Chain A
Amino acid sequence: MDWTPYLAGLGIGILSWFTFLLSARPLGCSTAYARTSGMIERAIRGDSVLEKPYYRNFVPQIDWEWMLVLGIVIGAFITALVRGEFALIWVPSTFEAAFGSSSLLRLAVALVGGVLMGLGARWAGGCTSGHGISGTLQLAIASWIAVVIFFVSGIIVAFLLYGVIVPW
């Protein structure tokens, strides 16, 4: 039996104690993208962007959660290097087995998926971290509903992609 997923879960669970204790915040990732999007839009279109109602709620600035997401990149990078898992790849192997090795196709699909994910995460008010881990561990009703819908809808679309478009 492989214990590493449980060790990782144990680590994330203990980490959540510290985010509540030291930072009075739950683990979450998706507002960092909304803030970054606002920062980019501000750089292009000027300060009028700050007047948008959404950016009045989520001010485009670097905060705790923004640094958390940056930290994830660094933490995963170090771990991947140490464990010899770091590899620059364009097309993941499961994708390649089903849809071929075109980097351009994978890039286009990932971009479309990313747009849906960014839109959906902000629409639902949280992601797999904010609702899926932090909300559920607090036993929040909306978060339990959210995570069930994330997975049910994800499972249906994954089966459509891998089962219908590309029959096994």
Chain B
Amino acid sequence: MVESADSPLQRLRQNQSLQRLLGLVMGVAFGVFLQLGGVTSYDVIIGQLLLYDFTVVKVMLSAVAVGMVGVYLLVHLGLASLAIKPGSIGTTVLGGIIFGCGFAVLGYCPGTVAGAVGSGALDALFGGVTGILIGAGIFAELYPRLDASVLQRGKIPDMTIPELVGVQPRTVIVPMIILIIAILYGIEYLGL
């Protein structure tokens, strides 16, 4: 079953004002879950990076496991397409290292900092959000020079693990879900 170009689903996806409303509604849900999970807290995020509180890993891995099954099912049914981000050593690795430094120094990430603002964290609002805006602005300014130098170095294939290995998605998904459950079981067993 493949969606035709003018199906109700396609019309919904192309309706910009409705999409902005949907974005808001989905964002509210995201914010509820982030706050409920406790990951809008600096103490919880720093506790994860200092490896004594595994709440962030619990939230992320369970979201990944649940999301993976549903999204791949939607793709299988022809109701969704994957949106794979490209990467390279110059972008993913260098940018990732800078991101990690910011993650530890700020103690929030771009999604959780918004949740932290909602929960009343003034350091998240005046320090975090302001800083992220400045950092994103700096990247926009540097982008032409970076793109001409480091960003294209060491291209990472724009593909998924099953595509790289050359197997059906379920051949990777099933072991991945088992691995995630085993890791989460291990974390609970150790009382982390």
Residues in A lying within 8 Å of B, measured CB to CB: 1, 4-27, 29-30, 32-34, 36-38, 40-41, 52-55, 58, 62-80, 83, 85-95, 103, 106-146, 149-162
8 intermolecular pairs with C-beta atoms under 8 Å apart: A5-B59, A80-B120, A107-B127, A116-B131, A135-B85, A146-B95, A151-B100, A157-B100
Docked-complex contact A138 and B139, CB < 8 angstroms = no
Docked-complex contact B84 and A80, CB < 8 angstroms = no
Docked-complex contact A75 and B32, CB < 8 angstroms = yes
Docked-complex contact B121 and A121, CB < 8 angstroms = no
Q: Output the least CB separation between A99 and chain B (Å).
A: 11
User: A80 to B120, alpha carbons, bound, how many Å?
Assistant: 9
- Interface SS of chain A: helix, strand, loop or mixed? helix
Residues in B lying within 8 Å of A, measured CB to CB: 9, 12-13, 16, 19-43, 46-47, 49-51, 55, 58-68, 70-71, 74, 79-88, 91-124, 126-141, 143-144, 146-147, 156-162, 164, 169, 172-173, 176, 184, 188
Partner pick for B96 among A5, A53, A150, CB 8 A cutoff: A150
Docked-complex contact B144 and A53, CB < 8 angstroms = yes
Docked-complex contact B91 and A125, CB < 8 angstroms = yes
Q: How many A-B residue pairs have CB under 8 A?
A: 541
Docked-complex contact B62 and A94, CB < 8 angstroms = no
Docked-complex contact B30 and A152, CB < 8 angstroms = no
Q: Output the least CB separation between B47 and chain A (Å).
A: 7
Other than the known A76-B116, A76-B117, what 16 A-B pairs have Cβ atoms closer than 8 Å? A5-B37, A8-B36, A17-B67, A20-B74, A24-B83, A71-B25, A111-B128, A116-B105, A121-B132, A121-B136, A138-B82, A145-B93, A153-B101, A154-B99, A155-B100, A161-B104
Contacts of B96 in A (CB 8 A): 120, 124, 145-146, 149-150, 153
